Amino acid sequence: MLIAGNFMSYIPIACFFITLALFLSILFIGSAFICSQFYTKVICRDIRARNKNVFITFDDSPDKTETPLVLEVLKKHDIKATFFIIGEKAEENIELVKEIAGQGHVLGNHSYSHKNYFPLRSTKKIIKEIKKTDNLINSVRLSERIVFRPPFGVTNPSIAKAIKRLKVYTIGWSLKSFDTVTKKRERVLKRLINRTRPGDIVLLHDPVKNIHIVLDKYIEFLKKNNYNFETVDKLLSNE
């Protein structure tokens, strides 16, 4: 009886910790999975089912060695893509950013610093970063509605507040290439080919070494399968 009594007394404590673990898990999923839409509205795919559209996007742009090679491939196939630029890197490679825009691609905002602690910054500092990169994009080509993709795809209350205040359109993805995770390019290509569905927003990184080789083959596959190539700004008309 004594043992049973002791056991019963632990139940409220166990319940508290289970609830806390569940709560923290929900917060984690909401933060780490951008398309959970937990903190803010995010455009993650083209929901117009009848269109066989695909949206190729690049994060962490630009890179002075790899980006020109990516641009070459896009030019060869006459395809437009979206480049989410990091303001700080863009400033150092402003001619390259002008080249991206000059070739008709869309420039998106991927913060100014892209520092690991970006998600931990205050709303005020996040707003400052977004504005700084917006100004840079506008200095290259005036855009009415600039799209934003948070670094690491992380959202939280401070980032959500900044997005709300600035009224920016947030873009996620529906297909992740994992090109920064594996060095095996054929694995990246295989994953993209096996998983692409109409309406997908595809996440790639143009600074990844030799990503243009994957891109070339991937575009060939998409063309053979009658996909249309669009830039993410086209999705804003649905909003």
Contact positions toward Zn ion, by CB under 5 A?
Answer: 59-60, 151
Whole-angstrom distance, CA of residue 60 vs CA of residue 58? 7
In whole angstroms, the minimum distance from the beta carbon of 207 to Zn ion comes to 10
Q: Closer to Zn ion by CB, 34 or 43: give it.
A: 34
In whole angstroms, the minimum distance from the beta carbon of 63 to Zn ion comes to 12
What is the DSSP code string of 57-77? Answer: EEEEE--TTHHHHHHHHHHHH
In whole angstroms, the minimum distance from the beta carbon of 84 to Zn ion comes to 7
| Token pair belonging to 138 | 């506008």
Q: Closer to Zn ion by CB, 59 or 66: give it.
A: 59
- Look at the chain and count its residues: 239
> Is 169 in contact with 148 (CB distance < 8 Å)?
yes
List Cβ neighbours of 22 (8 Å cut-off, separation of 6 or more).
none
Q: In this chain, which residue has its C-beta nearest to Zn ion?
A: 59
Q: Closer to Zn ion by CB, 97 or 222: give it.
A: 97
In whole angstroms, the minimum distance from the beta carbon of 113 to Zn ion comes to 11
Whole-angstrom distance, CA of residue 44 vs CA of residue 132? 24
Q: Closer to Zn ion by CB, 153 or 199: give it.
A: 153
In whole angstroms, the minimum distance from the beta carbon of 187 to Zn ion comes to 20
Closest CA to 83 of 65, 101, 95, 68: 101
Residue 198: Cβ within 10 Å count: 17
Q: Closer to Zn ion by CB, 113 or 143: give it.
A: 113
